[in-house]
Structure 1
Amino acid sequence: MTTRRWAALPVLLIAVFVTTLDFFVANLAVPSIRADLRAGDATVQFVVAGYGLAYAAGLITSGRLGDLYGHRRMFRTGLALFTLASAGCGLADEAAWLVAARVAQGAAAALLAPQVLTLIGELYRGADRATAFRWYGTAVGLAGVGGQVIGGVLVATDPLGLGWRACFLVNVPVGAAALAMTGRLLPRPLPSPPRRVAPRTPRAGLDLGGAGLVTAGQVAIVLPLIEGREQGWPPWAWWCLAASGPLMVAFVHRQRRLATWGRIPLLDLDVFTDRTFAWGLVAVALLFGTSAGLSFVLALYLQDGLGLDPLTAGAVCTALNAGFFAASLRPGRFGAPVLLLGLCLLYDVVARAAQPYQVAMALLVVGAGMGLIMSPLLSSALSAVRPERAGAAAGVLGTVQETGGVLGGTITGTVFFGTLDGGDWRSATLAALSVLVAGALGVLAHAVLRPRPRPPATTPAERHDRQLDGLECPRP
């Protein structure tokens, strides 16, 4: 059984790799899509933004669906829908079709993503869980920092004459193979220890009203962050941001009322009462915001600032991938200081107008810092959550990852273009890097000030969980 559980990990990692990759892989295909489908600027923007918008809006609801109908079943459903939507993207013969398929692809990725985190937490315990999360962090990080490089290579090499369609059709054989393996390699989770049953069992079911409120609230936050800067912050962007607060307040109020009425809410708000999880969310938002902001700055600085062609710029960025991959194999406690050091080195390199190879050396250190910290951060945040709240916590964590990335890219881009005066790429890049250094300082502050682990369990069920997790030695 142990061998079978480890055989399931590649299936989970393949799924999370391709869904994360699709955030970035289409960026360099935008010019080809515009020319081939004769799409306008706004339509092409939604080819990229539609995926992220649907993904962010659906994560919390998807986590609850996993709790209700089984994380294994929802994982397979999400993977199948993602594969079909990828085929729809690759076969699109008009822009509207492509945008609709991208939105469907993002919704399917949202259905799949929380199940991966929850299944890893359920299938592995103790040191095995730490190892599994280490590989999860490696897969997410490599897909994130290497997405644009892979997209550029696919467009440049034009496999089978597919052009930009290869960026989407590559998911079809990969997704189909992973889906075929899930039934045989993905075992059922470990049984949970018996727990005391409450006198009144709340009625189970999906809170459709809450799902509508949280989805509308997420859209009202993410959509203006994605499109607002591109369109010069029009009035609708500010109206959306203003409406997001009341929508989320109404959602929280509804969840509290449902709990008092004896119904199971869409999101168990008690998940935020654990300080380790709550603090972890802040650090995750800062880390993913820093990563997204760095990807944005590099794409502009290397090509427009240093005048490198796309393939050469991609080669420089591989240093970031290499550092991440090497460090993620042995993550440790010094990730935050190394990340801060790497960004400071990058700032110094840009300030001195150094050569591309020196930029690559600084990126190697930045990647190492991200690789050292990502999987321990995700693992520590989720390990503090009770099993019955795992789906909700995974949905919240995924939402924070996506929203943090969008917010980080938006803030970095706003600072960059606000400083770009007369084509002074160096000053603009330095200003944007200052934002990223501030984000790394926040991650370092979390590493220093984060709450201590919870005290030893007192009930038999809690002791059983902690012994399985390797947090407490069995008592005779």
Structure 2
Amino acid sequence: MAQQPAPAAGRAGATTDEQDYTPDPRRWKALSVCLLVGFMSLLDVSIVNVALPAIEKGLGASESALSWVVSGYALTFGLVLVPSGRIGDALGRRTAFFAGLILFTVASMACGFAQGAGWLVGARLLQGVGGGLLMPQISGMIQQLFRGAERGKAFGMLGSTIGLSTAIGPLLGGLLIQVFGAAEGWRWVFFVNLPIGIIAFLLALRLVPRACAERDTEHRHSLDPLGVLLLGAGVIAVMLPLVEERQWHGQGKWLLEPLGVLLICSFVWWERVYLRRGKEPLVNLRLFQDRSYSLGALLGLVYFAGFTTIFFIFTLFLQNGMRYSALQAGLTLTPFAIGSAVSAAVGGRFITRVGRPLIALGLVLVLIGLAGAALTVHEVQNSSVGWALIGPMLCAGLGSGLVISPNQTLALRSVPVAQGGAAGGVIQTGQRIGSAAGIAAVGAVFFAWLASSHDWATALDYGLLTAVCFVAGALVVAVVDILFGRRDARDAARDAARRQA
């Protein structure tokens, strides 16, 4: 895709960033710490799913409590992403990184020692806040420490980490329960974060550069509290009915959706007012004048609606439908993790040269893989289905690795470094909302067909078909961006020819 012109503020910021940039000799070591922490925080999105039956037995947790163990983490994680990015931009990413790391590690310990369902849910909410505080600092530090092709490579490594953590979660969770037993194994799903958190803290003290502690002194006193309140309330109103779709009975919950849209519209209005007053808003809406950023954010939202649901419905199908153990279910999803890790690293190296067509190729591979998985489940209705799924899951994983991190690289390439945390937080918030919406939609289709047919394979087929629709929507967004990019390239070439004539 042709390079698109950034908004005026973005062009000036990007130029200044390039002029002021001096490569830090420790940047790759600092990245390794960021990847370790990112792996830990994102692992908790998926690792808990296979532990839910053990938590139910160990704590006597209700279905509603189990839902909050999963959805509560996603809710608070998504809620604090944008404010955390702005805090890191204004007060120093290194400081915010350490705060998030300490909170996440302590909350993980509290989860492991939980003596009741309420205790566990509360600790998971805090854990989500810690994770949401960490992720914008990681993307912001990559923005700050790397430029050009190196930035693409760094984001590619982050993409490998995202793919691995999301897909390896069920495998690691199943292995821990297998080793420590069903009664106490679920506690080690949380305790595993303690050594990782401590090691990461000690490494970060030495390896994360002091430059990442620099503050945006011009705007550090204008943290936009009303913007934080409006956006936070809007995100809660939009996400809560989605994450509680199965537990919150009745249609009244959907009244929160228009309220959430109204709050987000109010947030947009306020951000414009705040900017006109000469202050730095929570989110600089001028970022959305850059087509690559706005379409990248939209693509991430739609893709995550299909991507994260794959693990949700496959875990249910394999464990409850095919009677696989937690470990066996995790092993079945491992080819996706391997494919995603490999292709994300490769995609990071080529995305700055190839552009959006590489992402479109990845989405096509995901569609082929999911279609193949649906056909496999339909044809192989016995315990050998796990072996038969290796090929389709590997194909889908290879495609996914070419989507998530390359898309973030393109979306953020014109964003000034000073706004990198908040800009990355917006994209990640969209991904969390997309995940919640996708699980609600795909889950509704999956459980409706299961209730009517009592056939797990049929329910999975229709659930995968719904996920395919979301992925296809993301492909449409990518194609639109490609077409507009080619049009801009033709217009630029025509203008250049006229000037020469």
TM-score by length of structure 2 reads 0.84
| Equivalent residue number for residue 494 of structure 2 | none
Q: Distance in 1 between matches of 2:464 and 2:49?
A: 21
Q: Which amino acid aligns with 1:226?
A: V
Pair 453,190 (structure 1): closer, same or farther in 2 beyond 3 Å: farther
- Residue of 38, 44, 50 corresponding to 1:22: 44
1:312 deviates by 2.3
| Equivalent residue number for residue 447 of structure 1 | 478
Q: Distance in 2 between matches of 1:2 and 1:426?
A: 52
| Equivalent residue number for residue 148 of structure 1 | 170
Instruction: Render the CA deviation track for 1:182-202: whole Å, top value 9, x for unaligned.
Output: 12111144899xxxxxxxx77
CA contact (8 A) 2:224 2:281 kept: yes
| Equivalent residue number for residue 232 of structure 2 | 215
CA contact (8 A) 1:222 1:406 kept: yes
Question: Which range moves more in the overlay, 157-166 or 66-75?
Answer: 157-166
- Residue of 62, 65, 68 corresponding to 2:84: 62
Q: Which amino acid aligns with 2:455?
A: D
- Residue of 222, 225, 228 corresponding to 1:205: 222
Q: Does 1:425 align with 2:463?
A: no
- Residue of 248, 266, 275 corresponding to 2:282: 266
Question: Which range moves more in the overlay, 408-417 or 159-168?
Answer: 159-168
Instruction: Render the CA deviation track for 1:156-198: whole Å, top value 9, x for unaligned.
Output: 2118985211111111111111111112111144899xxxxxx
Q: Distance in 2 between matches of 1:306 and 1:36?
A: 23
Q: Which amino acid aligns with 2:269?
A: H
The DSSP-based 3-state class of the residue aligned with 1:292 is helix
- Residue of 299, 310, 333 corresponding to 2:326: 310
- Residue of 93, 97, 112 corresponding to 2:115: 93
Pair 251,2 (structure 1): closer, same or farther in 2 beyond 3 Å: closer
The DSSP-based 3-state class of the residue aligned with 2:61 is coil
Pair 2,455 (structure 1): closer, same or farther in 2 beyond 3 Å: farther
CA contact (8 A) 1:34 1:44 kept: yes
Q: Does 1:184 align with 2:214?
A: no
The DSSP-based 3-state class of the residue aligned with 2:45 is coil
Question: Which range moves more in the overlay, 380-389 or 137-146?
Answer: 380-389
Q: Does 1:391 align with 2:421?
A: yes
Q: Distance in 1 between matches of 2:378 and 2:37?
A: 40
| Equivalent residue number for residue 231 of structure 1 | 248
Q: Does 1:254 align with 2:285?
A: no
| Equivalent residue number for residue 137 of structure 1 | 159
User: After the TM superposition, which residues 315-394 of structure 1 pair with which residues of structure 2 at under 5 Å, given as runs?
Assistant: 315-331=331-347, 333=358, 334-353=361-380, 355-356=384-385, 357-394=387-424
1:440 deviates by 2.4
1:386 deviates by 2.2
Q: Distance in 1 between matches of 2:310 and 2:228?
A: 33
- Residue of 252, 259, 262 corresponding to 1:243: 259
Instruction: Render the CA deviation track for 1:56-96: whole Å, top value 9, x for unaligned.
Output: 11111111101110112111111111111111111222222
CA contact (8 A) 2:93 2:137 kept: yes
Q: Which amino acid aligns with 1:400?
A: G
1:203 deviates by 7.9
Q: Distance in 2 between matches of 1:298 and 1:419?
A: 15
Instruction: Render the CA deviation track for 1:115-139: whole Å, top value 9, x for unaligned.
Output: 1001011101112111111110000
Pair 10,191 (structure 1): closer, same or farther in 2 beyond 3 Å: closer
Q: Which amino acid aligns with 2:454?
A: G
Q: Which amino acid aligns with 1:253?
A: W
Gaps of 5+ in 1: 193-200, 457-476
CA contact (8 A) 1:221 1:244 kept: yes
CA contact (8 A) 1:276 1:453 kept: no
**Alpha-carbon RMSD:** 2.5
CA contact (8 A) 2:344 2:406 kept: no
Gaps of 5+ in 2: 1-22, 351-357, 490-501
Q: Distance in 2 between matches of 1:138 and 1:203?
A: 33
CA contact (8 A) 1:322 1:367 kept: yes
Say which structure, 1 or 2, has more relative contact order (CA 8 Å, 6+ apart). 2
CA contact (8 A) 1:25 1:151 kept: yes
Q: Which amino acid aligns with 2:185?
A: G
CA contact (8 A) 2:64 2:247 kept: no
CA contact (8 A) 1:204 1:264 kept: no
Structure with the largest fraction of helix: 2
Instruction: Render the CA deviation track for 1:316-356: whole Å, top value 9, x for unaligned.
Output: 11121222223223226231221122122122222323642
The DSSP-based 3-state class of the residue aligned with 2:40 is helix
Report how many residues are paired.
448
- Residue of 287, 293, 310 corresponding to 1:277: 293
Question: Which range moves more in the overlay, 31-40 or 122-131?
Answer: 31-40
| Equivalent residue number for residue 196 of structure 1 | none
Q: Which amino acid aligns with 1:286?
A: V
The DSSP-based 3-state class of the residue aligned with 1:452 is helix
CA contact (8 A) 2:94 2:213 kept: no
TM-score by length of structure 1 reads 0.88
Q: Distance in 1 between matches of 2:339 and 2:62?
A: 38
